[in-house]
Structure 1
Amino acid sequence: MSNTRPNLVYIFADQWRRQAVGFMKEDPVITPNMDKFAEESLVFDNCISCFPLCSPHRASLLTGKYPLSTGFFTNCKIGCDVRLKEEEICIGDVTKAAGYDTAYIGKWHLDLPEMNLTDNPVSGARNWDAYTEPGPKRHGFDYWYSYGTFDEHLTPHYWMDTPEMIKVNQWSVEHETDMAIDYMKNHDKDKPFTLFLSWNPPHSPYDQVPEKYKRLYEGRDIPLRENFSLEKSVVGVGDPFEGDYVKALENTLNYYAAVSGIDENFGRILEELKRLGLEENTIVILSSDHGDMMVSHGLTSKNIWYEESIGVPFMVRMPNKIKVGRTDALFASPDIMPTLLGFMGLDIPNTVEGMDLSGILTGIKAEEQNSVYICSCPGSKPLLEKYKKLGYSPEQYGWRGVRTKRFTYVVNKGYIPEENKLERYIYDNEKDPYQKSPIMISNIEDNIVAKELEGELKGWLEKLKDPFTI
């Protein structure tokens, strides 16, 4: 087979927010390779993680479906039967069927933790981790150097095609980049390839980053975001930060250091593509699965509707084929798979729920969405046990919303049914980019914008058969 179709290199980091890259001129992060890449790419300024949590986004990314449609109302974790089912059709399945070599390197987090099945897995997996054996659970990815989820960035481990754990003493980003470069050097040159590279940093623990990247920020006066607060916002259900200003600053600097480390290794990938003569015929995407609050609004982590959580970077480059510049088109997790397949000229499965926006990549005027849907459900073990006793489904609670180019609109029922909570909020992201002044809606009829956005949200709930009612 002649390699006439484009290669695909999809690189995504975990918990990396859209604001934390130099060219965005928001967080003061040192990212020279990404900044240059952005100048050569199409940058999506409104790329949204529709369920800002690892497993739900990953399921959506690979299937082109919304997370609840794939059964993902929370992460793959102990005490919860959530995993990517074999019958789902993923981008790896499609590209393999089209004759591509396929590879997945790094964090997977889409399989059932092995400790849900046995206290002593043969693979050595512990906690939420899992070895995914060869076969349909790998969804078309033939070369496999991966793990479920394991947050030891300086001493990572992996599995290939047996349960024998491969332990490594090297920063995970650097090691996985080494493996990706080896794969690109050695793949079948007569076939196009699909390579997914999933880096865990800048995900916590934030201090697990090589010292050379931390030194980049020594002595610098680093301002924290305008919405930084040590007090949890009265609005929302996110995780409160439990620490002081010194700890918040330390975490932030280490987070930035990890992003700078990612930048250096991303540069290595780009350089190798050029050296191998693959640059012109390769689609390269750099993105993430969700953001990180990093003490904005007094919150840490993710899984909340603020921009620091739902906003992800998305840059895509293919020289002379993909338009260079920036777009404000709304683009969410389920739209990625059909957009890439559409651009690559491959069939889009009829199971897909996302939108093919490949016309935007080529500069052709394409239909855009009025809004994208965002959501979150209760997922902690104590809450799930409580829901089971009460006869409730976790999908009936949490929060749902829509994000338009200007507004974020959220309906929050909270995570505890007994509270009978029903709160509505509007954020005008144009006038209030740091979302410091939400408008609480007590009567939809009194606010024209809220009424319109409520209609948008109801349309999404109906379309997706979401059991959340408003």
Structure 2
Amino acid sequence: MNKESANNNIGKPNIVYVFADQWRRQAVGFRNEDPVLTPNIDAFAKDSLIFDHAVSCTPLCSPHRAALMTGTYPQTNGVFTNCKIGADIALRADDIGIGDVLKQAGYKTGYIGKWHLDLPEQNVTDHPVSGARGWDAYTPPGPKRHGFDYWYSYGTYDEHLTPHYWQDTPDMIQVNQWSVEHETDMAVAFLERSADVEQEPFALFVSWNPPHSPFDQVPDQYKKMYENMDIHWRPNVRAEGLAAHTGEPIEDGIENLQRYMRDYCAAVTGLDEQFGRILKKLKELGLEENTLIVLSSDHGELMGAHGLMAKHSWHEESIGIPCLMKWPERIHAGRTDLLFNSVDIMPTLLGLAGLEVPSTVEGSDYSRAVLGLETTPDQPAFLCAFPGRKDVMEQFAAQGLDNKRFGWRGVRTSKYTYVVHRGYSAVDPNFCLRLLYDLEEDPYQLNPLLLQRASQHPIAQQLNTELQEWLVRMDDPFEL
């Protein structure tokens, strides 16, 4: 994809890309959906381009991150489920990542926080030298860091109040501080060091784990703000019989759901305060004017929608992510209907920096539309999810079935979501659920049209054709 720079004759911008884990599009104050307080983000939104239709192509941690880094779908990069115990899943060292491209272009690169793209070390040895346990991993310096020189990170570890990290040795750095605050401290220090370097642009990626569960691991100062919160639930919420496709332990009932929601909102308010610190430091250092700032997440959180928790479904609370971009005097503030998918992030950021997009990329460079140099393309976003739990994958294998033929595939347009679901269980390999949602008439996805065949509805037939063409391009064995 050798494309002409979208910002010809403009110097390379600094890039600050901040993303949280399991933060849904609805959980930000300016949208007036979830009852969450985000004054810094709300103020930032007034000067930013707001993506009202940003989505996660595979609403699960590792698959979104692999798509973000490489601009490729799970079928290509191989990260179709989380990097976890019992699954030989990791981002390949020889894949071309955004950090690789930025470093080659002369950027000073940094990555802080959750990585979750490497093979858990306990898949290889019971007693890693690094001390990593469970799904966690220390990624040593080298090609698996994909061009990020400054590295203060970990694989995945859900102890938000007592996090740990590694830098360039397997010596674990243990911290008694809320992870979001600590990682912001490290980000501020990176910015201060970068401000002293003349003529060298920098790119910093900051990956916060909260508001990912466990939801209660939030500093009390934020929890107290929501003690008496009056929750107006979305019409699609069901509190009884709560469950998660991902297998996370969930307590059902309205009291538990209220507690989850209060803590979730408290964490987002904490993110807001720390994001404000980053913005303040950029301004203090005189870096604000030529820095492209992006705020986003890897996927959403269902929080009781359709009786579900966590992610991994095709519903808007799961696939919908916040996305805001600010680059003073370059990107005009406002809102866009652009369907901005995980795979589009890498090429669009590179396009905004005036850099060549690698031919390996499967997403689209929307930099010209972001800069207002062309009309917003009306392209659909393709979505997918695979049975990824260890016990379920073993169930498929025991029946001689390829789990990649199952799960669901979908296509999201500005008005419709069309999904074909073949199940997360190998019990009935003939199971097929075909759904069409009209998002304008039914924004909470309460009344999908159930179809036996796509040909029963003209929109479904059209979207089924587009989805089939995409599956062929992806060499995906899924059958529509």
Q: What is the Cα deviation at residue 367 of structure 1?
A: 5.8
**Alignment RMSD:** 1.6
Other structure's SS at 2:16 match: strand
What is the aligned partner in structure 2 of residue 343 from structure 1? 352
CA pair 403-394 structure 1, distance change in 2 beyond 3 A: same
Match of 1:84 among 80, 87, 91: 91
Partners of 1:349 and 1:366 in 2: how far apart?
A: 24
Matched, 1:314 2:315: no
Alpha-carbon contact 1:155-1:169 (below 8 Å) kept: yes
User: What are the ranges of 5 or more consecutive residues in structure 2 without an aligned counterpart?
Assistant: 1-9
Aligned AA (2:68): L
Aligned AA (2:320): G
Matched, 1:96 2:100: no
Which sits farther off after the overlay, 359-368 or 88-97?
359-368
Aligned AA (1:131): Y
What is the aligned partner in structure 2 of residue 42 from structure 1? 49
Partners of 1:212 and 1:462 in 2: how far apart?
A: 51
Matched, 1:208 2:212: no
What is the aligned partner in structure 1 of residue 474 from structure 2? 464
Cα deviations by residue, 1:130-151 (Å, 9 ceiling, x for unpaired): 0000000000000000000000
Question: Aligned runs of 1:412-451 on 2, under 5 Å?
Answer: 412-419=421-428, 420-451=430-461
Question: Aligned runs of 1:384-423 on 2, under 5 Å?
Answer: 384-419=393-428, 420-423=430-433
Q: What is the Cα deviation at residue 67 of structure 1?
A: 1.8
Alpha-carbon contact 2:434-2:453 (below 8 Å) kept: no
The two structures have a TM-score, normalised by structure 1, of: 0.97
Q: Percent identity?
A: 57
Alpha-carbon contact 1:4-1:192 (below 8 Å) kept: no
What is the aligned partner in structure 2 of residue 454 from structure 1? 464
Match of 2:164 among 122, 138, 157: 157
Q: What is the Cα deviation at residue 226 of structure 1?
A: 1.7
Cα deviations by residue, 1:175-214 (Å, 9 ceiling, x for unpaired): 0000000001012512110100000000000000001111
CA pair 360-232 structure 1, distance change in 2 beyond 3 A: farther
User: What are the ranges of 5 or more consecutive residues in structure 1 without an aligned counterpart?
Assistant: none
Partners of 1:125 and 1:443 in 2: how far apart?
A: 48
Matched, 1:169 2:176: yes
Q: What is the Cα deviation at residue 453 of structure 1?
A: 1.4
Partners of 1:242 and 1:209 in 2: how far apart?
A: 19
Cα deviations by residue, 1:321-347 (Å, 9 ceiling, x for unpaired): 112100011110000100010111011
Alpha-carbon contact 2:241-2:253 (below 8 Å) kept: no
Aligned AA (1:181): V
How many matched pairs?
A: 467
Matched, 1:289 2:301: no
Q: What is the Cα deviation at residue 64 of structure 1?
A: 0.6
Question: Aligned runs of 1:162-311 on 2, under 5 Å?
Answer: 162-187=169-194, 189-190=197-198, 191-231=200-240, 241-311=250-320
Match of 1:106 among 110, 113, 117: 113
Matched, 1:144 2:166: no
Partners of 2:435 and 2:220 in 1: how far apart?
A: 42
Partners of 2:238 and 2:180 in 1: how far apart?
A: 30
Other structure's SS at 2:192 match: helix
Partners of 1:287 and 1:367 in 2: how far apart?
A: 20
Partners of 1:306 and 1:116 in 2: how far apart?
A: 32
Partners of 1:238 and 1:305 in 2: how far apart?
A: 13
What is the aligned partner in structure 2 of residue 331 from structure 1? 340
Other structure's SS at 2:328 match: coil
Alpha-carbon contact 1:79-1:381 (below 8 Å) kept: yes
Q: What is the Cα deviation at residue 239 of structure 1?
A: 6.0
